[in-house]
Structure 1
Amino acid sequence: MAGLWHRTFRDFFSDRRLWLFPLSAGLCWFATLTILLVRWVALGRPRYPGQVNPYVPFISDIAAQTFQPVFIVGCAATGICFFGTVFAVHHVRYSPKFYGLTDDAQWRQSVSLVALAAGLAAATCLVFLSIFDTYENASRHRYLLMGTFGGLFVSAVTTTLVWWDQIQGPAIFVGLRKWCIFNTFLVLCQFGVGLAFVVLMYSNHFKSAGILEWTLTYLGSFWLVSFVGYTR
């Protein structure tokens, strides 16, 4: 009997180029961050109006300026590719043309659907976050930021949970285990850096918090690219 995911997305997408989703997502996000950072340095590292962090501006401080169109385009491209990545990573697990685990435990396939829903929520919030990244929408920006990080967190944890059997169990698919381990390592790094960022920010250690925010977001780009190993 076909599993839940396979019944839902039977023959929906069996293209061998699914790996382009995580590659595009990671590159789009890396490029967006780098453009903002390079622009800030090129302008002489200015302090923007309303900038809370006096040492290192947060991403939203730079993005809220005249470069907002670049931020919107970058977030839109990243969001679309991220949702495609979440779908691809779980779809290859159950598609008969890939790993073909159609008899996988029902709870894993249910968790895969949760990861997909969380990925859609994160992608949607990210796009709207870039649009409302202005000083006039500070409150809305904060809620969208929470929605983005919340969706990313749920999607990352559930995806790790679904693929955990490839870390613990016997190596059925050659080369897959190393990518699962590497991806899980990046999830743990992001969790640690994110927790440290929140603690330092709310304890007014702004310089360290600013550095950690950029570190966290750059780690996210490598995390996305690591899914290429799942979908290849």
Structure 2
Amino acid sequence: MFHVPERYYHWSYVWIPIITGFVWYGTLWAMLITWLAQGRPRYVSQDGRIAYISDVGADILKPLFIAGCSVTAVGFFLCLVVERYLRHSGRLLPHMRRREKIFSTLAVLGAFMGGCGLILLSIFDTKRYTSAHRAFLLVFMIGVALSAIFTIIEYHWIKKDFTFARELRIAYWAKGIIAGTLIILSIAFAITLYEATDAGAVLEWLIAMLFTSYIWTYYYDLRLSKGVRKGELSEYKMRQPNIA
């Protein structure tokens, strides 16, 4: 029987954030390059000189936009589901209290909410369904923001229980800095959306690109399960570290 080396156990999980991030990043660049290659045309749904992502996505690249958004939504949701499962099964540092489990569950629900909003905003494009598109854009942004906030709170409590875990502190600060920046930029985007159209478009592209970095932080999280057997980091063993 073929034996898988211990160092490769559970290694396949890391491909979820990697592939998701590259699909999202590739989709954005394909849309941006297409708009520039066309000579920066003014789309029907476009208000300012700079096209929003949704303006490009409502035109000839709508199939690509829907596909990219769908893969990203599902992949982002799976990142949190897998991370939650690995902690539950003892392959990542576990939740030692009920509060961490609650925040983890809320983070997964936030990712599901944001993912649904992302898929729906790509289907209900801004050219044909302007009101619906903006509503689903809001759902996407709120869902991702809530997911990030709950995840950061979860990580905060976990790192207090495992002060020796340097990797966990790195993950906590990386997520906190990126998510905090995204939330600040999103607030600025909401203001400029109506007050300064072109500035809003630039912010939207910037936020979307930076979101890729947030997705990729889960690569760092999931790779920590490499070579860890099921139950090796269980809550029971962490409470009684002398158990072999």
Q: Does 1:47 align with 2:38?
A: no
Match of 1:76 in 2: 70
Write the distance in 2 (CA, Å) between the matches of 1:207 and 1:138.
18
Deviation at 1:128, TM superposition (A): 1.8
2:99 paired with 1:107: yes
CA distance in structure 1 between the partners assigned to 2:44 and 2:208 by the alignment: 23
TM-score normalised by length of structure 1: 0.86
Q: Describe the shift of the 1:231–1:221 C-alpha distance in structure 2 as closer, same or farther (beyond 3 A).
A: same
Give the corresponding residue for 1:31. Answer: 26
1:146 equivalent in structure 2: 138
Q: Does 1:230 align with 2:221?
A: yes
- Tell me the CA shift for residue 140 of structure 1: 1.4
CA distance in 1, matches of 2:182, 2:126: 26
Give 1:7's aligned residue: none
**Which residue, 170, 178, 184 being the options, matches 1:186?**
178
**Equivalent residue letter for 2:157:** D
2:212 paired residue number = 221
Map of 1:199-218 to 2, 5 A cutoff?
A: 199-203=191-195, 205-218=196-209
Shift in Å at residue 15 of structure 1?
3.4
Q: Secondary structure of the residue that 1:195 maps to in structure 2?
A: helix
Structure 1 range deviating more: 74-83 or 139-148: 139-148
Matched letter for residue 201 of structure 2: G
Q: Residue deviations 1:134-184, cap 9 Å, x none? A: 522112112211111111111111011100135556543343322221121
Match status 1:65 vs 2:56: no
Q: For the pair shown, which has the larger CA radius of gyration, 1 or 2?
A: 2
What is the total number of aligned residue pairs between the two structures?
A: 215
Gaps of 5+ in 2: 1-8, 224-244
C-alpha RMSD of the superposition: 1.8
The correspondence for 2:13, drawn from 18, 27, 33, is 18
**What is the aligned partner in structure 2 of residue 127 from structure 1?**
119
Pick one of 86, 107, 117 that aligns with 1:92. Answer: 86
Output one character per residue of 1:60-94: Cα deviation in whole Å (capped at 9) or x when no partner. Answer: 00100011000011111111111101112333333
TM-score by length of 2: 0.82
Do the aligned partners of residues 57 and 71 (structure 1) sit closer, same or farther apart at CA in structure 2, a change above 3 Å counting? same
- What amino acid does structure 2 have at the position aligned with 1:37? L
Q: In the aligned structure 2, how far is the partner of 1:134 from the partner of 1:50?
A: 7
**Contact 1:111–1:162 at 8 Å: present in 2 too?**
yes
In 2, Cα distance between equivalents of 1:115 and 1:93 = 14
Amino acid at match of 1:86: L
Q: Is the 1:32–1:71 contact (alpha carbons within 8 Å) kept by the matching residues of 2?
A: yes
Q: 2:156 aligns with which of 160, 164, 180?
A: 164
For 1:150, give the aligned amino acid. I
Give distance in 2, aligned partners of 1:47 and 1:86. Answer: 38
Map of 1:6 onto structure 2: none
3-state SS of 2:17 partner: helix
1:73-127 per-position Cα deviation (integer Å, ceiling 9, x unaligned): 111111111110111233333321232x25x110110121111112112112211
In 2, Cα distance between equivalents of 1:168 and 1:215: 33
